[in-house]
């Protein structure tokens, strides 16, 4: 699968510095982020969270931080990481692309929020993290769905879903969110890899 995947660090830094992504902090994103947060907090007990492609840590606005014992943010841009709030002593902030990040720890929840389609092989990148889940851990994956079935985002979604079936992932929950006033849709998955793959 080849496409023009936007991975240039300087472009992303410039975008965050100029405020291109501040819209993600608006209430217009509430429906989407509320579902993502609900999926993360299904454990109902404190756990660790790896946020891959965290940006400015928008998800923290929607989480009960008493349930997030430790938060690790990974993003390509230092500008975005520097804006994450609140900052707690136990949390970590790592400046790296998804494809270059070499995870060393294990987490209870790993979040891929609007990031897999910025890679050349979303399935391969996701698979790298299967061994980074603690027992009973799970992935939360959100992907923006475009209107054209040929769009790269949508091809990524199909590939990821096909891999879920092929690898016998447990699909705990999956929803599609649509906004009526604007053309915006997301597919959000709460999934657990089989024990054999971990």
Would you say 125 and 185 are in contact if contact means Cβ atoms under 8 Å apart? no
- Could you tell me the pLDDT band of residue 17, with boundaries at 50, 70 and 90? confident
Q: Once rounded to an integer, what is the mean pLDDT over residues 98-125?
A: 95
pLDDT at residue 92, rounded to an integer: 97
pLDDT (0 to 100) of residue 151: 86
Q: What is the residue-averaged pLDDT of the chain?
A: 90
Please give the domain boundaries of the chain with CATH numbers for all domains. 9-197 (3.40.50.150)
Q: Residues 38-89: pLDDT tens digits? A: 999 998 899 999 999 999 999 999 999 999 999 999 999 999 999 999 999 9
- At residue 16, the pLDDT reads 76
The stretch 167-192 carries a mean pLDDT of 91
Calculate mean pLDDT across residues 22-27.
Answer: 71
pLDDT higher than 80, residue 25: no
Whether the bond between 23 and the residue before it is cis, its omega within 30 degrees of 0, is no
Place of tokens 């698979």: 127
CA distances from 37 to 31, 45, 152 (A): 10, 14, 25
Residues of the chain by 3-state class (helix, strand, coil), percent to 5: 35, 30, 35
Which of 104, 62, 58 shows the shortest CA–CA distance to 83? 58
């Amino acid at each position: 699968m080849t496409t023009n995947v936007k991975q240039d660090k300087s472009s992303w830094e410039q975008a965050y510095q100029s405020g291109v992504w501040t819209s993600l902090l608006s209430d217009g994103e509430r429906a989407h982020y509320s579902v993502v947060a609900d999926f993360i907090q299904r454990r109902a007990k404190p756990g660790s969270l790896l946020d891959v492609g965290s940006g400015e840590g928008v998800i923290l606005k929607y989480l009960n931080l008493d349930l997030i014992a430790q938060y690790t943010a990974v993003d390509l841009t230092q500008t975005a990481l520097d804006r994450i709030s609140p900052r707690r002593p136990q949390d970590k902030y790592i400046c790296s692309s998804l494809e270059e990040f070499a995870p060393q720890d294990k987490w209870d929840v790993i979040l891929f929020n609007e990031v897999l389609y910025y890679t050349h092989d979303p399935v391969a990148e996701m698979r790298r993290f299967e061994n980074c889940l603690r027992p009973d851990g799970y992935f939360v994956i959100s992907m923006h769905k475009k209107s054209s079935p040929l769009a790269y985002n949508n091809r990524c979604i199909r590939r990821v879903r096909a891999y879920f079936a092929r690898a016998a992932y447990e699909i705990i929950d999956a929803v599609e969110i649509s906004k009526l006033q604007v053309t915006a849709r997301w597919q959000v998955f709460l999934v657990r890899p089989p024990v054999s793959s971990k």
